[in-house]
Chain A
């Protein structure tokens, strides 16, 4: 009986992992672009980047998901709940990742850039060979942290009908009248996934962080 419940929620876990993985990777890439906009010499782009970050950090994710879920069909774009969920999670995490990255860039010592200028590297080479790799090493722990936050926040997608761990647990609870068992299994799944995520993150971080200066 218990095992069938665990297996049942396993399908939700696959959904949770899938939407989180897409949101984390696409969100990070989008975060790089938003960060680039925020650090751009063009004032208009900087403003746009700042507005993006302020909007997606300022509106609760739950509200954002419901808004996207209802807004897209209202303007004639019919998407399944899972797509609306991925869009909401991606846009939201991109704002946080952009801020993480920006902090990393601002913490790359000016002396390291001056040394690069003195040996003749041009602006593009300094960005790609010096600033970006050092910034990525600096922000790596924060990036992993954001991935963990996102995996947990993905439980909110149950409100737009996505059959993730949380939604499966709710269904199980109402059909079996055993909510404690259902949500204990759900909690255990999230915990397990995050232990794997942070474990992988810290061993990668050790590999990178050895040479962080």
Chain B
């Protein structure tokens, strides 16, 4: 597979919760090796879109393909869609790692245990191999010295870095980040963003829902701006940020400037 082949494609994806329509007509291609940032105001549907990619939410229309394989629903012969069995969903999900806003570390396991758990249960590694691998993964996010600590003994930033290590340990092709710094104190967001920046430099395919406009501008290559459940605008980071063509995006960016955030838009 070439480096810029499609990692994820969406065709006409929509999502409703009952009568409440959250996403409409999303067509999107996410390429391998790129950092895609999903931006937009609260309620624009960006987190829901990310969760649909992982099939943690079931999209109610359209087809999502991960590494070429349909996720959750496949096109049916009659033009509709058919639900895939759980085993198929699990198999496609192996391409994905996910990092959550609330970290979601398991409180009854140490940092090392959190990272090693799936290596043992899913990859069937013996304890020693899994723990050595988990330790290397913690080292990678700068937390090898915290391996024996429980989540409650770690700061928010450290917990999120453990969560990143847990996702990376399974060697996903694509990592999804759902507002990874939104529940952190401002002084702790830096350490998480720098781990993510390093990951981007290594060429990892990343899809990031974020309010960190500075991060999106510096690290994001492909910017997708959502508003009211639709893609309002997408493009290369430079063109989107340098000259915000769309008034809604300009207005959105202005709120960050108004709040005193120094937008480092120029590299």
- A-to-B contact residues, CB < 8 Å: 109, 111-112, 114-122, 125, 129-130, 133-134, 137, 210-213
Contact of B100 among A115, A130, A213 (CB under 8 A): A115
Q: How far is the CA of A122 from the CA of B118 in the complex (A)?
A: 10
State the majority secondary structure of interface residues on A. helix
Known: A211-B107, A211-B151. 16 other contacts (CB 8 A): A109-B102, A109-B104, A111-B102, A111-B104, A112-B104, A112-B106, A114-B56, A118-B56, A119-B122, A119-B169, A119-B170, A120-B122, A122-B90, A134-B106, A137-B108, A211-B108
Q: Are A119 and B118 in contact (CB under 8 A)?
A: yes
What residues on B are CB-neighbors of A125 within 8 Å?
Answer: 121
Query: Which residues, 166 to 189 on B, are CB-close (under 8 Å) to A?
Result: 166-167, 169-170
Asked if B152 lies at the interface with its beta carbon under 8 angstroms from chain A, I say yes
The 10 closest A-B pairs by CB, nearest first: A213-B107, A119-B118, A115-B104, A120-B122, A111-B104, A211-B150, A118-B98, A133-B108, A125-B121, A111-B102
Does B117 count as interface, using CB distance less than 8 angstroms?
yes
If A112-B106, A114-B104, A115-B106 touch, whether A121 touches B152 (CB-CB below 8 Å) is: no
Chain B residues in 8 Å Cβ range of A213? 107, 151-152
| Smallest Cβ-Cβ distance to B149: which chain A residue | A211
CA gap between A122 and B90 in the complex, in Å = 9
Are the C-beta atoms of A120 and B108 separated by less than 8 Å? no
CB closest chain-B residue, reference A133 = B108
Most B Cβ at <10 Å: residue of A114, A115, A213: A115
- Interface size on B, as a range, is 20 to 34
Q: Which of B93, B121, B152 contacts A117 (CB 8 A)?
A: B93
Bound form: Cα–Cα A96–B94 in Å:
41
Given contacts A109-B104, A112-B106, A133-B108, contact A117 B170 (CB under 8 A): no
By beta carbon, the residue of chain B nearest A130 is B106
Give Cα A120 to B102, complex, Å. 19
Chain A residues near B166: list those with CB within 8 A.
115, 119
Q: Verify A211–B152 contact, CB threshold 8 A.
A: yes
B151 and A115 within 8 A (CB): no
**CB <8 Å contact, B118 and A120:** yes
Beta-carbon contact of B167 and A118 below 8 Å? yes
Measured CB to CB, the closest approach of chain B to A96, in angstroms, equals 24
What are 11 inter-chain pairs, A to B, with CB distance below 8 A?
Answer: A109-B104, A111-B102, A116-B106, A118-B56, A119-B117, A120-B118, A133-B108, A137-B107, A210-B150, A211-B107, A213-B107
